[in-house]
Structure 1
């Protein structure tokens, strides 16, 4: 939507970045609160909250655009501030939507948390591809570009209806948890009947590739306060890693439109909206595929045990590698991606590496975070702990985004048009690459500190 908003409302790059940023970082201030709602009430409550927030945010946003004359010659500062607030409201709806989906899945399938989290967040990550396709097919006109007004009206209606349905369906089901517990309870009188109802038809076989685990730590972690978590130095190291990886990726996502506009087409001129949509699709697909792959892969190579109830027994796969390795991989992908942006990109054709790299790192990180937190601090306060950790990008995202915005503004023409040329962002990716390298070193620290735990 950035090109259309810049043309219609006469917004500058820092102002566009601020509006887009409000749609990203608004997810974070209320993440801990959303986590507490999940832990106490359930995912259905978060879904209903997001229904109201999405409908209100998109509805008010489109109202402001619709009543602004097309022939506006200068931007209205109060309009700009209102648009920022409305996009912030939408982003608060995003965190409630995200939490309802992720924790409905992970708490219903605690033994396969990586797969459950990866699959649900993969659909979340796929939504930009779906919505970009809808936008370019049904709301795009070759002569005038994206019809922002009707597209946002569509989003307001769609998001409201979907999340109202989620209010009736997003529940954590106790029977699924009971079938995990009872087959291992040797004191139950109806053991034979429970085995028929809950156990696999094929017996589990033991081999050198699996180990029997007995978990009794999660009951101790149930009473752990948030202050206990914050006193752990390694929590802050993890927060730094998450802040850098997610913050720099979200800087790319919120500014991909103007990054595309800064470069000439590779072969022949094309519409900026179409070129931007292509990059959004690349980010979305790589984000989705990485979540679908990393979630189940983490369950296989790094099975977690802290979510098992006290005294329960089960056979899990052999622990082959720490889940921190997936964060190490994400940071290394970003280092290579940012290096490519500094030395290898001169046209829009080279931006595919940026979109794919950011999507992979972003999806991989989100796919392992819930299970990683469950391994260290237990499942009972998972929503709260996850919400607190997600405050980290609340600092990282604006830092990286404004780094990009002010570097671009410093090289923009005096007439206020969009900045063009690699100088618009080269310094941004040089600085970002150095910071991501520090995050890479921090993941190695955590790998050593949590050896055998995750």
Structure 2
């Protein structure tokens, strides 16, 4: 009973830490203030956020390697400290280049270090049949950040100004997230999590997989299928998430559409939790197939959304579809390649998300610049999601008996 209590504490502590460091979702508010109050160009005001996404993805890979070697606590303390410090430093600078360094590099690194440690630590405390549930809860915290951080940041800027807002939020991260990070650790050697009571152990994730190194992982076709699926499907989601207010103005002449951002955020969170739980029941690949069908259908129809109600439906579908990806791909990585090297393995796979952060916005910008509408972006996204769906049908579980990896599995 004590171990289960400890597992629950680790899970919900991880959720709260992600909730605190999900500061990326507040950038649209900062950007608006930088453009209006400081007179920055849209490009200058977007650059710190863009750099933060790239650095986030790169830092997650480095942190994954570190936490596999030294455990999650030290890496997590460093990550949360960097987020808080980077935000405080951002309040002390006033130029685009300086903000790229303080927010883009320092905060981006901190978020990557923090985000990388929470899922692997939590999954080790729970039975393998709960990997999807664990990832759903942990990643939901990060996705839920937009629901409270955007209005909170807006209120802070209105009351204190943008520089003090950076510092207040940074101080809050240090006061809240750093102490929580000190409580995260891996289970003791030989720990065996209890199986869920009153439940059949024939669920998709109930069997403990072989632990496979990243080098062996790169020799499996499943990794490349997953990488392409993650990059293409995430691109479609990020394209909508990053442009939903502009889409509303272009297609439905709705100028006050900030509420759509909140709708996407809420259903992104629900998609993460629901997708994680569903993947425990029917398997990660099947859950991804459902997400791809939802995303593909939504992309094919998005060009026809010209009313408030249809845009709300489109925002809900986009949020759910994208959220499922962020909970299922981590679980699938653990399901296919084990937990011992999970931090490194998922860090390598997560580079696909970093690439998607470029693909989606570039496609959207090209479509609008060349045609004045997002139709081309929807079509391209539908094609990418279709490719992801086709690859999902080809993706089978990794077996240690595969000749190209069985030798390295023995060394993992």
What band does the TM-score fall into relative to the shorter chain? 0.7 to 0.9
Q: Which moved more, 1:85-94 or 1:5-14?
A: 5-14
User: SS where residue 403 of structure 1 aligns?
Assistant: helix
Listed one character per residue, the Cα deviations across residues 163-184 of structure 1 (whole Å, up to 9, x for unaligned) are 3113311112228x6344xxxx
**Is 1:291–2:291 an aligned residue pair?**
no
- Is 1:396 the equivalent of 2:412? no
Q: Structure 1: 5+ residue runs without aligned partners? A: 66-78, 181-197, 303-322, 412-422
1:329-352 residue CA offsets vs partner (Å, 9 max, x unmatched): 22222222222321223x566432
SS of residue matched to 1:101: helix
Distance 1:214 1:23 in 2: 36
1:8 to 37, 45, 61: 37
Q: Return the index of the structure with the highest Cα Rg.
A: 1
Alpha-carbon spacing, 1:325–1:93, altered in 2? closer, same or farther (3 Å): same
TM-score, normalising length from structure 2?
0.78
**What CA deviation, in whole Å up to 9, does each residue of 1:354-400 have, x standing for no partner?**
43222212221121222211222121111111110001122222122
1:443 aligns with 2:403: no
3-state SS of paired residue (1:383): helix
The total of aligned residue pairs comes to 369
Call closer, same or farther: CA 1:398–1:63 in 2, change over 3 Å.
same
Shift in CA distance, 431/156, structure 1 to aligned 2, threshold 3 Å: same
Per the alignment, residue 191 of structure 2 pairs with 178
For structure 2, list consecutive stretches of 5 or more residues without a partner in the other structure: 1-28, 401-412
1:91 matches 2:108: yes
Q: Distance in 1 between matches of 2:199 and 2:352?
A: 43
Q: Shift of the alpha carbon at 1:41?
A: 2.0
CA RMSD of superposed structures (Å):
3.3
TM-score where L is the length of structure 1:
0.71
Residue 220 (structure 2) pairs with residue 232 (structure 1): yes
* 1:339 partner SS: helix
1:299 & 1:104 partners in 2: Cα distance? 18
Distance 2:199 2:88 in 1: 56
Contact 1:263 1:348 in 2 (8 A): no
Is the CA contact (8 Å cut-off) linking 1:51 and 1:161 kept in structure 2? Answer: no
Change beyond 3 A, Cα 1:451–1:389: closer
Query: Which has more helix, going by share of residues?
Result: 2
Q: Is the 8 A contact 1:32 1:386 kept in 2?
A: yes
Q: Which of 154, 168, 177 lines up with 2:182 in the alignment? A: 168
Distance 1:430 1:240, change over 3 A: same
Paired position in structure 1 for 2:376? 427
